[in-house]
Amino acid sequence: MHARTDAADTAPTWPDDIFATLQRFDVRQVPYVPDAGHSKLILRVLDSPAMRGIPLTTEEEGVALLAGAWAGGQRGVLLMQSSGVGNCINMLSLIPILRFPFLTLVTMRGEWGEFNPWQVPMGSTTQGVLELSGIKVLRASNAAEVPAVLEAAAAQAYNALTPTAVLLSQRLIGAKVFTK
């Protein structure tokens, strides 16, 4: 167990906002690498009869999976942490070549209150890497921003075939503190 410096009195509701948006856009396949920041959303997905949560061994599997899902007629979303973005780079080349709808929700490390220096290099370059790979980057820094940001991201990903990443800020997620 770890403490969070900005723990709220009640459990966060922004994952429910994300879930509602994904449902509205008929997302069916949800590949993910298990992650604390996404854990509530993952539980909602696993409980949903309309969605299939798919644990991956590494994040780039999810990019290829979403290409296959779309070939077969289904939309998907890839859930991962910022370190996982680094694992995806070459597989992201499938997106402009095949031109399938791509949406990824990224829980951020290494950018705000981070205690672990090993997370900082990839966290600091996540946005740059995504943009160099042709993916539009949106960001939600607080809970109030989440519904509108998710709505915009899903709309442009699924309706306009604009590959999109939503960075869920470390400020939103809460910085981990393992040190005393």
List contacts with other proteins (CB under 8 A): 28-29, 52, 54-58, 60-74, 76, 90-91, 93-94, 97-100, 159, 161
CB of 154 to other proteins, least distance (A): 14
CB of 70 to other proteins, least distance (A): 7
- Residue 1 corresponds to which amino acid? M
CB of 109 to other proteins, least distance (A): 22
The number of residues in the chain equals 180
Nearer to other proteins, 67 or 105 (CB): 67
Nearer to other proteins, 19 or 100 (CB): 100
Pairing of β 3-4 and β 176-177: antiparallel
Nearer to other proteins, 50 or 144 (CB): 50
- Nearest partner of 96 among 136, 62, 127, 57, judged by Cα: 136
- The 8-class DSSP code of residue 10 comes to S
The three-point CA angle 173-153-38 to 5° equals 30
